[in-house]
Amino acid sequence: MKKLMIFYQERCPFCKRAFNYIEKLKKENSEYCKIPLELIEETLQPDYADTFDYYYVPTFYIDGEKVHEGGIKKEEVKEILDRALAQQ
């Protein structure tokens, strides 16, 4: 499995929704709890965030590859988690 990096903003409603989906999905499938997460609050780490190619939050990277950017649905979060689990 690969590390999942998430760029977000604390006040972003789409980010809050994404994190709620992640928590719900972890309760549905405990395997998701094993995925290493790196959370970057872009307003607290702007210099680091600027080294990545994205415009909207939340943005998800798996092993350095951008896999989603912007508003997100639960099904899309599940796909991202499944992809992170599947990659060796």
Q: What is the CATH number of the domain that holds 54?
A: 3.40.30.10
Q: Which domain holds residue 26?
A: 4-86
51-68: pLDDT as tens digits:
999 999 999 999 999 999
Distance CA 23, CA 15 (A): 12
Whether pTM > 0.85 for this model: the answer is: yes
pLDDT at 21 over 90: yes
Distance CA 27, CA 71 (A): 22
Mean pLDDT, rounded, for 5-25: 97
What is the number of H-type helices and E-type strands within the chain? 3, 4
Task: Quote the number of domains for the chain.
Answer: 1
Supply the mean pLDDT for the chain. 95
